[in-house]
Amino acid sequence: MPKIDETRPFHAVNFRVITVSDSRTPATDKSGDTLADRIEAAGHTLCARTIVPDDADAIRAAVMDGVDDPGTDVVLTTGGTGFTGRDVTPEALEPLFTKRMEGFSAVFHALSFGKIGTSTIQSRATAGLIGTTFVFVLPGSPGACRDAWDGVFAQQFDFRFRPCNFVEIMPRLAER
Protein backbone atom coordinates (compact mmCIF):
# COMPACT_ATOMS: atom_id res chain seq x y z
CA MET A 1 0.00 0.00 0.00
CA PRO A 2 1.33 3.47 -0.78
CA LYS A 3 2.28 5.44 2.32
CA ILE A 4 4.66 7.93 3.90
CA ASP A 5 7.60 6.24 5.63
CA GLU A 6 8.31 8.51 8.61
CA THR A 7 11.71 6.81 9.16
CA ARG A 8 13.01 8.46 5.96
CA PRO A 9 14.11 12.12 5.93
CA PHE A 10 12.27 14.80 3.97
CA HIS A 11 14.25 16.37 1.07
CA ALA A 12 13.15 19.77 -0.24
CA VAL A 13 12.87 20.04 -4.03
CA ASN A 14 13.32 23.27 -6.04
CA PHE A 15 10.29 24.22 -8.16
CA ARG A 16 9.84 26.87 -10.84
CA VAL A 17 6.25 27.89 -11.72
CA ILE A 18 5.47 29.36 -15.14
CA THR A 19 1.98 30.63 -15.89
CA VAL A 20 1.18 30.74 -19.60
CA SER A 21 -1.41 33.42 -20.28
CA ASP A 22 -2.05 36.51 -22.37
CA SER A 23 -4.34 37.98 -19.72
CA ARG A 24 -3.11 37.05 -16.24
CA THR A 25 -1.06 39.34 -14.04
CA PRO A 26 0.67 38.62 -10.73
CA ALA A 27 -2.49 39.90 -8.99
CA THR A 28 -4.84 37.63 -10.96
CA ASP A 29 -2.72 34.48 -11.31
CA LYS A 30 -4.77 32.14 -9.11
CA SER A 31 -3.31 28.98 -10.67
CA GLY A 32 0.25 30.14 -10.00
CA ASP A 33 -0.81 31.07 -6.46
CA THR A 34 -2.27 27.60 -5.93
CA LEU A 35 0.96 25.90 -6.98
CA ALA A 36 3.22 28.32 -5.10
CA ASP A 37 1.19 27.94 -1.90
CA ARG A 38 1.26 24.14 -2.08
CA ILE A 39 4.98 24.01 -2.89
CA GLU A 40 5.86 26.12 0.13
CA ALA A 41 3.34 24.44 2.46
CA ALA A 42 4.92 21.06 1.62
CA GLY A 43 8.36 22.37 2.65
CA HIS A 44 9.78 22.68 -0.86
CA THR A 45 11.40 25.76 -2.41
CA LEU A 46 9.76 28.03 -4.96
CA CYS A 47 12.92 29.17 -6.74
CA ALA A 48 11.20 31.23 -9.44
CA ARG A 49 7.79 32.23 -10.69
CA THR A 50 6.88 34.01 -13.90
CA ILE A 51 4.07 34.71 -16.34
CA VAL A 52 4.67 34.39 -20.09
CA PRO A 53 2.31 34.96 -23.04
CA ASP A 54 0.72 32.18 -25.06
CA ASP A 55 3.64 32.15 -27.47
CA ALA A 56 5.65 28.99 -28.20
CA ASP A 57 9.02 30.78 -28.26
CA ALA A 58 8.34 32.58 -24.97
CA ILE A 59 7.16 29.36 -23.34
CA ARG A 60 10.22 27.41 -24.50
CA ALA A 61 12.58 30.20 -23.39
CA ALA A 62 11.04 30.38 -19.90
CA VAL A 63 11.15 26.60 -19.45
CA MET A 64 14.72 26.36 -20.75
CA ASP A 65 15.76 29.06 -18.24
CA GLY A 66 14.63 26.61 -15.59
CA VAL A 67 16.23 23.59 -17.23
CA ASP A 68 19.53 25.48 -17.55
CA ASP A 69 19.42 26.61 -13.90
CA PRO A 70 21.10 24.02 -11.65
CA GLY A 71 18.91 25.35 -8.82
CA THR A 72 15.71 24.14 -10.52
CA ASP A 73 14.63 20.50 -10.19
CA VAL A 74 11.06 20.78 -11.48
CA VAL A 75 9.27 23.17 -13.84
CA LEU A 76 5.49 23.39 -13.54
CA THR A 77 3.67 25.24 -16.29
CA THR A 78 0.01 26.15 -15.98
CA GLY A 79 -2.08 27.25 -18.93
CA GLY A 80 -2.22 26.78 -22.67
CA THR A 81 -3.29 23.12 -22.71
CA GLY A 82 -6.72 23.53 -24.30
CA PHE A 83 -7.79 23.52 -27.94
CA THR A 84 -8.08 27.19 -28.84
CA GLY A 85 -5.71 28.75 -31.33
CA ARG A 86 -3.57 30.37 -28.59
CA ASP A 87 -3.19 27.11 -26.58
CA VAL A 88 0.31 26.02 -27.63
CA THR A 89 2.08 24.87 -24.46
CA PRO A 90 2.17 21.13 -25.34
CA GLU A 91 3.37 21.90 -28.87
CA ALA A 92 6.07 24.19 -27.50
CA LEU A 93 7.41 21.71 -24.95
CA GLU A 94 6.80 18.12 -26.03
CA PRO A 95 9.48 18.26 -28.77
CA LEU A 96 12.00 19.21 -26.05
CA PHE A 97 11.27 16.16 -23.87
CA THR A 98 14.17 13.72 -23.73
CA LYS A 99 11.82 11.26 -22.02
CA ARG A 100 8.04 11.43 -22.04
CA MET A 101 5.92 10.60 -19.02
CA GLU A 102 2.67 9.23 -20.44
CA GLY A 103 1.65 7.99 -17.00
CA PHE A 104 1.26 11.55 -15.71
CA SER A 105 -1.40 12.40 -18.26
CA ALA A 106 -3.27 9.16 -17.54
CA VAL A 107 -3.24 9.69 -13.76
CA PHE A 108 -4.05 13.38 -14.05
CA HIS A 109 -7.06 12.69 -16.27
CA ALA A 110 -8.28 9.94 -13.93
CA LEU A 111 -8.14 12.37 -10.99
CA SER A 112 -9.72 15.13 -13.03
CA PHE A 113 -12.52 12.88 -14.29
CA GLY A 114 -13.55 12.30 -10.69
CA LYS A 115 -13.92 16.07 -10.21
CA ILE A 116 -15.13 17.46 -13.54
CA GLY A 117 -16.26 14.40 -15.49
CA THR A 118 -15.79 14.27 -19.22
CA SER A 119 -14.67 17.91 -19.33
CA THR A 120 -11.19 16.55 -18.56
CA ILE A 121 -10.81 15.63 -22.23
CA GLN A 122 -10.51 19.35 -23.02
CA SER A 123 -7.03 19.37 -21.44
CA ARG A 124 -3.82 18.21 -23.06
CA ALA A 125 -1.86 17.90 -19.81
CA THR A 126 1.51 16.28 -20.42
CA ALA A 127 4.91 15.79 -18.80
CA GLY A 128 8.44 14.64 -19.40
CA LEU A 129 12.08 15.14 -18.66
CA ILE A 130 14.23 17.72 -20.38
CA GLY A 131 17.69 16.54 -19.49
CA THR A 132 17.49 15.99 -15.73
CA THR A 133 14.64 18.45 -15.09
CA PHE A 134 11.06 17.30 -14.62
CA VAL A 135 8.61 19.40 -16.68
CA PHE A 136 4.86 19.23 -16.13
CA VAL A 137 2.33 20.97 -18.39
CA LEU A 138 -0.87 21.65 -16.46
CA PRO A 139 -4.17 23.27 -17.38
CA GLY A 140 -4.64 26.89 -16.35
CA SER A 141 -7.37 26.43 -13.76
CA PRO A 142 -6.68 26.53 -10.02
CA GLY A 143 -8.69 23.32 -9.64
CA ALA A 144 -6.49 21.46 -12.10
CA CYS A 145 -3.36 22.72 -10.33
CA ARG A 146 -4.80 21.66 -6.99
CA ASP A 147 -5.66 18.21 -8.35
CA ALA A 148 -2.19 17.73 -9.84
CA TRP A 149 -0.45 18.79 -6.63
CA ASP A 150 -2.68 16.94 -4.18
CA GLY A 151 -3.09 13.82 -6.31
CA VAL A 152 0.38 13.42 -7.82
CA PHE A 153 3.11 15.87 -6.85
CA ALA A 154 2.61 15.81 -3.07
CA GLN A 155 3.50 12.12 -3.08
CA GLN A 156 5.95 11.85 -5.96
CA PHE A 157 8.09 14.77 -4.72
CA ASP A 158 8.24 13.47 -1.15
CA PHE A 159 11.29 11.25 -0.55
CA ARG A 160 9.39 9.50 2.23
CA PHE A 161 6.63 8.25 -0.10
CA ARG A 162 6.73 4.50 -0.67
CA PRO A 163 6.94 2.33 -2.69
CA CYS A 164 8.83 4.82 -4.90
CA ASN A 165 9.05 8.50 -5.75
CA PHE A 166 10.78 10.96 -8.08
CA VAL A 167 13.08 12.35 -5.40
CA GLU A 168 14.93 9.07 -4.91
CA ILE A 169 15.70 8.78 -8.64
CA MET A 170 16.73 12.42 -9.16
CA PRO A 171 20.45 11.76 -8.46
CA ARG A 172 20.43 9.07 -11.17
CA LEU A 173 18.71 10.99 -13.97
CA ALA A 174 22.00 11.85 -15.71
CA GLU A 175 23.26 8.22 -15.79
CA ARG A 176 24.23 6.84 -19.16
CATH at 36: 3.40.980.10
Residue range of the domain that includes 136: 12-167
Widest pairwise Cα distance in the chain: 49
Side-chain half-sphere exposure of 100, counting CA atoms within 13 A: 10
**What pLDDT was estimated at residue 142?**
97
The parts of the chain modelled with pLDDT lower than 70 are none
Report yes or no: 97 and 135 within 8 Å, Cβ to Cβ: yes
User: Does some domain include residue 149?
Assistant: yes
**Per-residue pLDDT at 71:** 97
**Cis amide bond preceding 142, omega within 30:** no
Note whether residue 23 is domain-resident.
Answer: yes
Work out the mean pLDDT of the chain and round it to a whole number: 97
5-43: pLDDT as tens digits: 999 999 999 999 999 999 999 999 999 999 999 999 999
Indicate the number of domains in the chain: 1
Would you state the pLDDT for residue 48? Answer: 98
Assess if residue 96 is contained within a domain: yes
Q: How many CB atoms lie within 10 A of CB 22?
A: 12
Give backbone dihedrals phi and psi of 65, rounded to 5 degrees, phi first.
Answer: -60, -40
